[in-house]
Structure 1
């Protein structure tokens, strides 16, 4: 039976305030016509960036029964998409989830959320990094940022990186298992005040790049939003470079729509003002072959 709507299992935390994780992923994918079936790993009153005193409920102990019920119901998915995971045990649970639900037409996307700006997040350890290396071996696509790519490879974080070296990094990451490696927030040394998203498709041995002007601000949740648009675009039938382009254009539009307003940036980008653009056809593209 062909489903009228594509279906994604989204394995992420739920932060009640701050437009990140599931509170960003669900509206983005739903707007793109995708059914989102969340597997919450934890419930927080806010995300952990620049908030103090937040409440935190760890759902690790309930995840296996939750997943087993789905398995008994014979639910299947067009995509399995995981993001921030809070412990080695959660990584192992996600690994088992992939074993249970994967099939030939299922896209497995792992966003190895662990670090940024050269440092691991406070909840992350070297043991978590090692187990994340095992998890990405089961993915079709991974979307680490530049810092996370360095940690996965055991490389030193250094923003002075050339095109040849980043290509070698991506090939090495693909050799760990995934067919497609996408690194976000890559510093572009050729052009000042520019950042890039670079992708490598192992099957075709092709590199793609989408660049955008760097805007001097930071909003939590943009990584979740980018990967969500990427997933939605691919499930709609777009090519990899078009999906990259749509993700970058959407995040750029979100930041531009938000930057002019005076409000705490820890609340995230103003998704509500930009969501409708995801229904519009692509009118231009800026991707290039490397």
Structure 2
């Protein structure tokens, strides 16, 4: 039996709601074979990030070599890369193996406020990783940080940011509008010519740990299976909306989303 393969290059979340763990769950739910390269270990739960322990460049390179030299991959999703050196290494290896369908989730700050990307790493991100990305998926604070401007508060500001981010090299830009405080949940997809608005109802819940990781992983899974970019983003939007709508009350803080919700909803319709 053949199956599409997706590789996540990200940090491990000991709480299971974000990072590598969220990505692997998403890959599985969307019928892709998930593989991983762990860039950092985090001591993390629903109350926040209590420690970040980056892996050595040697360990990260060895993981990438092991997967890409043998199994290969149909898509890659990058998450928490933490440092400029790690970003440079990951970009170099992806180019060396001519990896296609690269989804870059520029993880910078955890829900609890902990920094997950060093300040000096932003330059490496913009100069080395974004130019080879198929699609990038920043939220509003991340997009603002990359562009060096104030956080966006309107759809029009989001649209301009999408255009400006596209100039940094990625083939497509998705800006997530979850940080907007009013109205429906609107994400934007920009392909270099047209901007598409993807709108769903806003789900009122605090349990949104791992939403960004999950959304980007879903896009990667769909691209791995050969879906076009717009269809991949639409599926990812439906996947994360279902996951948030059925979010799990686990722990004492910001709980995780329910990665099984999308599949369960589809089975109910059959």
**TM-score of Structure 1 vs Structure 2, range by shorter chain:** 0.7 to 0.9
Question: What is aligned with 2:263?
Answer: 276
Indicate the SS of the match to 2:87. helix
Question: Which residue number corresponds to residue 138 of structure 2?
Answer: 144
Q: Give the whole-Å Cα distance in 2 for the aligned partners of 1:52 and 1:188.
A: 24
Look up the match of 1:196. Answer: 186
Is the CA contact 2:219–2:236 (under 8 Å) kept in the aligned structure 1? yes
Name the CA distance, whole Å, in 2 between partners of 1:90 and 1:100. Answer: 15
SS of residue matched to 1:112: coil
What SS is found at the alignment partner of 2:162?
Answer: helix
Displacement, 1:129?
A: 1.4
Matches of residues 34-45 of structure 1 in structure 2 within 5 Å?
34-45=32-43
- Give the equivalent residue in structure 2 for 1:130: 123
Question: Could you report, residue by residue, the CA deviation over 1:16-66 in whole angstroms, capped at 9, with x for unpaired residues?
Answer: 22311111111211222211120111223435x623655746344411233
Alignment of 1:50-89 (within 5 A): 50-51=47-48, 53-54=50-51, 56=53, 58-70=55-67, 73-89=69-85
- The higher-RCO structure (CA 8 Å, 6+ apart) is 2
Q: TM-score, normalised by structure 2?
A: 0.85
The whole-number CA distance in structure 1 between the counterparts of 2:117 and 2:176 is 20
Do the aligned partners of residues 280 and 177 (structure 1) sit closer, same or farther apart at CA in structure 2, a change above 3 Å counting?
farther
Structure number, greater radius of gyration:
1
Unpaired runs of 5+ in structure 1? Answer: 284-290
Q: Quote the RMSD (CA, aligned, Å).
A: 3.0
Whole-angstrom distance in 1 between the partners of 2:147 and 2:60: 29
In 2: Cα distance, 1:198 partner to 1:18 partner: 28
Structure 2 vs 1, CA of residues 8 and 86 (structure 1 numbering), >3 Å: closer, same or farther?
same
